[in-house]
Structure 1
């Protein structure tokens, strides 16, 4: 039996707002290395998040991404499981310790069926979370 550390699921899907699908702070514009605030990630569906300068206080950072392929949405379970697997693997590369040994948690923003179909969204973003506000990056923090 293997021990499994939970992945925070506060952010479940990416939802589009309005007919245009993108806002000024659209999650579709976020990239690896962007720093965020967890309060912007609350809810079951997230459509806009304001990236902040990493030199400013923040408590979340995008550390990796995973691109899905294919024309058809593979289903929520497949998206969640594949995303969690990739984020867990890349967590150790970024933080410097295995996820099961870390004091940190991560969450994910992954495509919903709507964003897949309407915005050609195929990207999961892996986001490390800090309990305390920080400045700078958690890359190599080994905590």
Structure 2
């Protein structure tokens, strides 16, 4: 399972359940550079997402990943805080402006205790989100 959370301004959570076989649409296969629709991340549990070409219409883009350390799960709050801090730092490098000055928002997709323990999942993803669907990448958008 992975849990997603928006920065403290707009906090929400959902659970993501890992599947045994990783298909191209399995949430566990997402990586920086993948584009998708935010609606794929809604709901109490998420297992699959449709990974889109960034040239296709989409409203979310994975821009960075955070690797957590440790054998024992530190708790949802600790994972969320570390992910948000690292994503905020990576935001400026990817978008071109500091997060505090940007019109863009991001959410995080992080390991749950279940995926940490059963799937050795130690990766949170940083996902840019926009209000209106767009075509193309937000890398270097400077907005």
TM-score (norm 2): 0.87
| Distance (Å, rounded) in 2 between the aligned partners of 1:120 and 1:60 | 26
Q: Give how far 1:29 is off.
A: 0.7
Q: Indicate if the aligned counterparts of 2:27 and 2:46 stay in contact, CA closer than 8 A.
A: yes
Q: Indicate if the aligned counterparts of 1:64 and 1:127 stay in contact, CA closer than 8 A.
A: yes
| Distance (Å, rounded) in 2 between the aligned partners of 1:8 and 1:22 | 30
Structure 2: runs of 5 or more not aligned: 1-6
- 1:15 equivalent to 2:14? Answer no
Partner of 1:128: 128
Partner of 1:141: 141
Structure 1: runs of 5 or more not aligned: none
Partner of 1:41: 41
Flag the structure with higher strand content. Answer: 2
Q: Indicate if the aligned counterparts of 1:7 and 1:107 stay in contact, CA closer than 8 A.
A: no
When the two chains are superposed, the root-mean-square deviation of aligned CA atoms in Å is 1.8
Q: Give how far 1:43 is off.
A: 2.3
| Distance (Å, rounded) in 2 between the aligned partners of 1:10 and 1:21 | 28
